[in-house]
């Protein structure tokens, strides 16, 4: 796993201490990551982990690693007060203060969250002194990742951890985190150490619920996290949520609601399982890649009756619904290859039809997070090169009730919801014969995760470790 190398300072000066992170870096991180959760998602997560008014929450304790504007804390507080009243517990600072702890690095946002908590508690007829004490104690202005962890302290951990690639962190903050955090949890995305530290503070039998990027399931930077925590999580479920339904602002992300229980027993059972046998797709040297993310499909994918882009730039485009077991039912849509074979973006000046089409979508394209840091407004999220997809391949939908696959020899570009498997020496037919007629599903059973509705998630990591019959 790649990790950033922080140059050694002259004279072996240690990295800056946490209290030396400049305010402007904290503000910059907040500007990039201050994307707050919609109330309905907060309610769903709290329901999922059992922080509900019908439970006896007086014996519970809830941690939120990034409080933001206080959406989680206020909803959790309302449920806590209601639960106490149902059981005739006194509503006082003594009974409430120890039940919730939340961290927020950005001071102004933390202060606003405290005000919001106080207002909510007063609306619930909580004494003003108790409301003020709870707001002050529940929301801490500070860096969750740099605070001494309370191992196994909390019965519930919930939240929406910040997503930002390690390379995009402000310089001083990145150096501090590299010095203070476990090396195998850094170098990828900031949400990974947030999840790691949160789960450490969850007691065995406790429940966690996160609105979280689904990249932890298959990206290489989260491999150490998966090895550490997947064996210790049971009753795990993931429910994909459109970003527009999850966040109060428009962002380019792939969130899901992750609910799980921390179980030491589950880890021990996992350690006793016998090793699996058989050759895997990874052992064979198969290349597995997911289709490119575009950023705004209507702009870059042409319907069958659309002819407003130079034909030389177009390639067949296939999504998961067009893949049946053993066959592809292509509906005639085509995607624009926005990069040449060397990976360079196409020059719009050379393709007037393409430029005219993209100009129709310019307003939507400019609003995407992927172009907010000076990137060209018309770029796709991932590189789209025709040459990457010309070899014969098996196509597998990422989400499927029953995992299925089909051969593609047309050079089609798959959607971002489809994985392609390339066989060594392009012997794709022989590979297909070993996985056809439900054998892929059998190989993934008990191995790939299931999400809401019983759908398999066929990520690269699970496909790579599929053992051939």
What does each of the 469 residues of the chain score in pLDDT, given as a tens digit? 223 333 333 333 344 344 467 888 888 877 776 678 899 999 999 999 999 999 999 889 999 999 998 999 999 999 999 999 999 999 999 999 999 999 999 999 999 999 999 999 999 999 999 999 999 999 999 999 988 888 888 999 999 998 888 888 888 888 888 888 988 898 888 999 999 999 999 999 999 999 988 778 777 788 888 888 888 888 888 888 887 888 877 666 678 899 999 986 544 433 433 444 567 888 788 899 999 999 999 999 999 999 999 999 999 999 999 999 999 999 999 999 999 988 899 999 999 999 999 999 999 999 988 887 778 999 999 999 999 999 999 999 988 888 899 999 999 999 999 999 998 877 888 889 889 888 888 888 766 666 667 777 787 888 888 888 7
290 and 211 belong to one structural domain = no
Q: Residue 147 sits in a domain of what CATH number?
A: 3.40.50.150
21 and 104 belong to one structural domain = yes
Residues 396 and 458 sit within 8 Å (Cβ to Cβ): yes
- Assess if residue 120 is contained within a domain: yes
- Assess if residue 433 is contained within a domain: yes
261 and 287 belong to one structural domain = no
Q: Hey, is 17 helix, strand or coil?
A: coil
User: Where does a domain end: 272, 299, 318?
Assistant: 272
40 and 164 belong to one structural domain = yes
Segment 224-264, tens digit of pLDDT: 888 888 888 888 888 888 878 888 776 666 788 999 999 86
- Assess if residue 3 is contained within a domain: no
307 and 235 belong to one structural domain = no
User: Where does a domain end: 272, 303, 319?
Assistant: 272
User: Where does a domain end: 211, 239, 272?
Assistant: 272
Residues 338 and 384 sit within 8 Å (Cβ to Cβ): yes
- Assess if residue 215 is contained within a domain: yes
Q: Residue 369 sits in a domain of what CATH number?
A: 3.90.220
- Assess if residue 83 is contained within a domain: yes
- Rounded to whole angstroms, the Cα distance separating 176 from 170 reads 10
256 and 389 belong to one structural domain = no
Q: Specify the number of domains making up the chain.
A: 2
In DSSP terms, which residues pair with 289 in a beta bridge?
420
317 and 436 belong to one structural domain = yes
- Residue 380, both tokens: 């796709």
- Assess if residue 360 is contained within a domain: yes
Q: Which domain holds residue 82?
A: 10-272
- Is the pTM value of this prediction over 0.95? no
- Assess if residue 469 is contained within a domain: no
- Residue 190, both tokens: 């900031």
234 and 303 belong to one structural domain = no
405 and 258 belong to one structural domain = no
- Assess if residue 4 is contained within a domain: no
The closest alpha carbon to 95, from 70, 69, 121, belongs to 121
60 and 182 belong to one structural domain = yes
């Amino acid at each position: 796993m790649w990790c950033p190398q922080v140059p050694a300072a002259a004279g072996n000066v240690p990295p800056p201490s946490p209290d030396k992170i400049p305010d402007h870096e904290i503000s910059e991180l907040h500007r990039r990551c201050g994307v707050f959760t919609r109330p309905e998602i907060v309610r769903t997560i709290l329901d999922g982990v059992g922080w509900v008014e019908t439970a006896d929450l007086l014996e519970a304790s809830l941690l939120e690693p990034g409080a933001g504007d206080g959406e989680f804390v206020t909803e959790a507080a309302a449920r806590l007060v209601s639960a106490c009243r149902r059981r005739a517990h006194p509503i006082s600072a003594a009974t409430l203060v120890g039940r919730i702890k939340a961290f927020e690095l950005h001071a102004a946002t933390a202060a606003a969250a405290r005000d919001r908590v106080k207002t909510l508690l007063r609306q619930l007829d909580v004494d003003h002194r108790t409301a003020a004490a709870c707001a002050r104690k529940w929301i801490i202005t500070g860096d969750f990742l740099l605070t001494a962890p309370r191992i196994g302290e909390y019965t519930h951990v919930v939240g929406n951890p910040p997503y930002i690639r390690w390379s995009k962190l402000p310089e001083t903050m990145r150096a501090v985190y590299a010095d203070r955090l476990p090396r195998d949890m850094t170098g990828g995305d900031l949400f990974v150490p947030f999840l790691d530290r949160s789960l450490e503070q969850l007691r065995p039998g406790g429940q966690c619920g996160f609105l979280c990027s689904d990249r932890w399931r298959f990206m290489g930077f989260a491999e150490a996290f998966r090895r550490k925590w997947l064996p210790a999580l049971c009753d795990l479920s993931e429910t994909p949520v459109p970003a527009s339904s999850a966040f109060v602002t428009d962002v380019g992300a792939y969130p899901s609601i992750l609910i799980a229980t921390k179980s030491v027993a589950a880890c021990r059972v996992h350690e006793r399982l016998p090793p699996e046998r058989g050759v895997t797709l990874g052992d064979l040297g198969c290349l597995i890649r997911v289709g490119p993310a575009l950023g705004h499909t209507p702009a870059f994918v042409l319907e069958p009756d659309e002819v407003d882009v130079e034909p030389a730039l177009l390639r067949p485009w296939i999504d998961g619904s067009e893949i049946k077991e053993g066959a592809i039912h292509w509906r005639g849509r085509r995607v624009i290859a926005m990069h040449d074979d060397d990976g360079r973006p196409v020059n719009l000046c050379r393709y007037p039809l393409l430029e005219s089409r993209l100009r129709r979508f310019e307003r939507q394209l400019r609003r995407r997070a992927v172009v907010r840091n000076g990137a060209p407004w018309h770029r796709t999220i991932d590189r789209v090169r025709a040459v990457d997809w010309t070899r014969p391949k098996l196509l597998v939908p990422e989400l499927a009730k029953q995992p299925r696959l089909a051969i593609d020899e047309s050079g089609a570009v798959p959607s971002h919801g489809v994985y392609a498997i390339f066989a060594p020496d392009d012997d794709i037919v022989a590979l297909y014969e070993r996985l056809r007629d439900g054998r892929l599903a059998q190989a993934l059973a008990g191995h790939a995760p299931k999400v809401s509705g019983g759908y398999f998630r066929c990520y690269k990591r699970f496909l790579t470790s599929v053992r051939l019959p």
